[in-house]
Every structure is written in structure tokens, then in C-alpha cells.
Amino acid sequence: MQLTPLHIQGGRELGGEIAIQHSKNAALPIIVASLLSSEPVTLHGIPRLSDVYTILEIVHHIGARHTWTGPNSLTLHTPEILNTETPYALVSKMRASFIVLGAVLGRAKEATVSMPGGCAWGPRPVDQHVKAFRALGAEVSEENGNFAAQRSGSLSGKFIFELLTVGGTHNAILASVLGDSVVTLENASIDTDVVDLIEFLNSLGAKIEGAGTNTLTITGVSALHGGEYTVIPDRIEAATFMILAAATRSRFKLTNVRTDHLTAVTAKLQEMGVDILEDGSSMIVDARNREMKPVNVTTQSYPGFPTDVQPQMSALLATVTGTSVVQDPVYPDRLTHVAELHRMGANITVSGYTQVIQGAPLHSAPVKAADLRAGAALFIAGLTTEGETVIDGVQYLNRGYERLSERLRGLGATAFQPEPALAAAMD
């Protein structure tokens, strides 16, 4: 659906309190993991985002039925698997849905999922997912644009990931939980979203040891029971609002945060001169009256500086006097924000995955988000300028930020999307 653009106007100090949503990237695999139980599972802290609606459509196709029981709570129930095939029309809506391969293989012993393909900022390989399945005893074939996996017995043995992958670790865990053997995953991701998936599965009776370390031991169980679980707060959304506070030289109080999940971002903003005060599950970010210093940033797997925060950080640094260098080796092509920031006057030179940024005040311009975090970079940049910035591509923002314009208004920003009828009248 074509959405009307987001209009924002800034150039002034914002302020106030914002409750951070629960994690999109933790919620998605947990919804998929509910396919492993034949009993009802109630989840709390599910953000109302288009990616969540997409994954619900996919698990519905597979056999899950869901009921929203509150604004951010739902019950999922998959008494039986109705379809072991997930077609391209569904997978292409959200490439992260490739992890249904592991969940359906785990529950139904066979699964076919379309190849995920690339996205706006480059290829999204799944070689590690497939190597893990094969090393643990599944047969995986690739034909007609699909991966088809099957297992005769339980997955067992050891797989050493060649690199740290969040989705690959999710997929291997999901495929290994049900069975009567032991699976060991080495060089597994220690990302917060992997830990949350493991804690959820263990709460349903799975036996997974080593969460938060690079070695996971999964002892197969015959079935998972139902249960109730609350998803962790969204560290990427929290980081986005921390950066917005810095970029607009404002003071925000963020609630519903896991400060221990944000240490890399907190340290980098403190290095720039931002005051950050942590207090249990809340945080005060104060950048008022601050002379901000340029910094160098390199993305890494968790607990390093997240690639999902790189475009937002680049937008902030584009406003900070001096030279900053931002490198994103995790996703070297994640650069769609750069050309749009150029339209706002940013001085960013790109070479490979390196951005050299000479900071200076930005100006407003019509811009277009080509992906979720590029969109976040644009609303941050727009809120530093006095004129009106019109951001197209709002469907990408809706994938990751719940009720964005309303929540920006709550911080004192001018942010609105004209109603479609009104927008037509203005054409």
C-alpha cells in the first residue's frame, strides 16, 4: 500500500519521556518458535509493526492461529502443521522469515522455503543456515528457487559457524529443539535476540544450555508445552531515540530499556560528550548545551556497535563539526541513507563500507527511505533542521517503529502524515 509521506519540522530542542517498544527482532523469531508447540502460547511485548503482521501471516499459512488479547499481547496456537511449504510471495515480504525453515523442519520433519534473495542494501546470504542443517544430519536440496529440508531422525552432532550470524543461530536452534539427540553449536551468536529466543524455548520445556555464550548445547525433547512470555525491550529503537536526543541537543527520558544491551551505543555517545544516566530500566540522555565531538564508529556483532544503528549514527555525525569515520563491515552495502542525506546538505564521502563524514548543519529537503534504518536516519536528520522535511517510503519506518509520528509528537516534534484524502486534495 502506498502511504502518505511523513512531514517533520525540527531545528529546536525536544524533550520528555518515551516508552521504548519491545524488540521487533526478538519478537519475530519467538512468534516463529511458537510453531514448535502444539499448545497455546501467550506472548506479551509484541510491537504492532508491519513486520509482525507479515510474520503472523506466514505462521498462519503454516497452521498457527492467533488472537490479540491486549494492545501488545497475543496468543498463538498451532495444533498441527497445515503447510510445510512457504512460498516466495510470503518470504519475499520479509527475508528474516527464512527461519521458518528450521521451525517447520523441527516440528514436521520436512520443510520447503523459498530462497530469501537480496534486499535494498545487498545480498542476505543463508549459506551458514544450510551448512548447519546439513552438518547436523538434515538433507537440504536447492531447486526452483526453493530450499527443501528433511530429516529422518533427530538432528545431532556439532556445527561450527564460520561467522557470527543471528538468523543462522536462530534457524539451527529451532531445527534442533525437538528430538532425542544432542546438538552443539560452536561460534554461535550471543546476540540479545538469540538469548531471548533460548529463554522463551526453555520456558516451554526446551533444554538449551549456554545462552549468551558462543557454545550452545541443545538436548532434544519430545514436545514443548504451552506458556507465557514477555519479549525484551528493543535496543535498536532505544538507540535510535538516544541518537535523536543527541542530534537535537535535547534531554529525553527513555523507559522500558535494558541498559546492559546498549553499552556500545552508550559508550560512543558519551565519547561524543552526551550525558547518559542509567537508572534500572530507564535512562536519561542529556545533550543540551553540549559541544559534541566527532567520533569513529565500526559496527560489529553484539555486543559491538550494531549495524542497525549505523545509518542513524551517520545522520547524527553529519551534524557534528569535525571529521568522523563510520565503517559497517557487517553489512558493507548498507548505505542507502547517504544519497538522501546528501540532499539535506550532508558532506559524506563513501569508499567501500567506509563513510568519511565532515559535519555541518543540515537543511530540509524531500527525501525517500529505501529501508527501515535509513528511514530512521532521515527522521533524525530532519528533526535537526528548521524547514519541513518530507520523508517518503514510510512503509519501511512502519516495519520497525510503532506509532512513530504520534510518539515523536510526544517528544515535542512536529511530525504528521496527512490523511490520504487530504493528501490527494493537496496534490
In the complex with ligand EPU, the residue whose CB is nearer, 322 or 352, is 352
46 is a contact residue toward ligand EPU (CB under 6 A)? no
Q: Is 25 annotated as a binding residue?
A: yes
Query: In this structure, how many other beta carbons lie within 10 angstroms of the beta carbon of residue 314?
Result: 28
197 is a contact residue toward ligand EPU (CB under 6 A)? no
4 is a contact residue toward ligand EPU (CB under 6 A)? no
Q: Is 104 annotated as a binding residue?
A: no
227 is a contact residue toward ligand EPU (CB under 6 A)? no
Out of 84, 154, 165, 385, the residue judged to bind ligand EPU by CB under 6 A: 165
Among the listed ranges 122-130, 140-148, 265-273, 340-348, the one in contact with ligand EPU (CB under 6 A) is 122-130
163 is a contact residue toward ligand EPU (CB under 6 A)? yes
Asked whether 258 and 282 are in contact (CB, 8 A), the reply is no
Catalytic residue among 119, 284, 325, 390, which? 119
Nearest to 35 by CA among 138, 171, 220: 171
Rule CB under 6 A: which of 92-111 touch ligand EPU? 96
Distance CA 253, CA 266 (A): 14
Q: Is 338 annotated as a binding residue?
A: no
The count of residues interacting with ligand EPU (CB under 6 A) is 23
Nearest to 29 by CA among 78, 135, 102: 102
Q: C-beta of 333: minimal distance to ligand EPU in Å?
A: 10
Among the listed ranges 161-169, 278-286, 289-297, 343-351, the one in contact with ligand EPU (CB under 6 A) is 161-169
372 is a contact residue toward ligand EPU (CB under 6 A)? yes
Q: Where are the beta strands (DSSP E) in 144-212?
A: 146-150, 157-160, 182-186, 207-209
Distance CA 340, CA 343 (A): 5
Asked whether 389 and 378 are in contact (CB, 8 A), the reply is yes
Among the listed ranges 74-82, 160-168, 269-277, 345-353, the one in contact with ligand EPU (CB under 6 A) is 160-168
* Exposed / middle / buried, residue 422 (Cβ in 10 Å: 0-12, 13-18, 19+): exposed
Nearest to 169 by CA among 197, 148, 141: 197
167 is a contact residue toward ligand EPU (CB under 6 A)? yes
Q: Is 127 annotated as a binding residue?
A: yes
Q: Is 207 annotated as a binding residue?
A: no
128 is a contact residue toward ligand EPU (CB under 6 A)? yes
- Copy the grid coordinates of residue 342: 546528501
52 is a contact residue toward ligand EPU (CB under 6 A)? no
In the complex with ligand EPU, the residue whose CB is nearer, 16 or 122, is 122
Q: C-beta of 376: minimal distance to ligand EPU in Å?
A: 9
Out of 330, 335, 341, 346, the residue judged to bind ligand EPU by CB under 6 A: 330
Asked whether 334 and 121 are in contact (CB, 8 A), the reply is yes
> Helix (H, G, I), strand (E, B), or coil: what is residue 374?
helix
- Copy the grid coordinates of residue 241: 531515540
Verify whether residue 103 is a known catalytic residue.
Answer: no
Question: Which residues, in sequence order, are bridge partners of residue 112?
Answer: 85, 148
Query: CA of 307: how far to CAs of 12, 14, 298, in Å?
Result: 28, 26, 9
For ligand EPU, the nearest residue by Cβ is: 167
In the complex with ligand EPU, the residue whose CB is nearer, 42 or 299, is 299
Chain-centroid distance, C-alpha 396 = 12
Q: C-beta of 128: minimal distance to ligand EPU in Å?
A: 3
Distance CA 407, CA 410 (A): 5
Distance CA 170, CA 176 (A): 10
Chain-centroid distance, C-alpha 154 = 31
Q: List contacts with ligand EPU (CB under 6 A).
A: 25, 28, 96, 124-129, 163, 165-168, 193, 236, 307-308, 330-331, 372-373, 400
Q: Which residues are known binding-site members for UDP-N-acetyl-alpha-D-glucosamine?
A: 95, 124-128, 308, 330
Q: Which residues are known binding-site members for phosphoenolpyruvate?
A: 24-25
Q: Which residues are catalytic?
A: 119
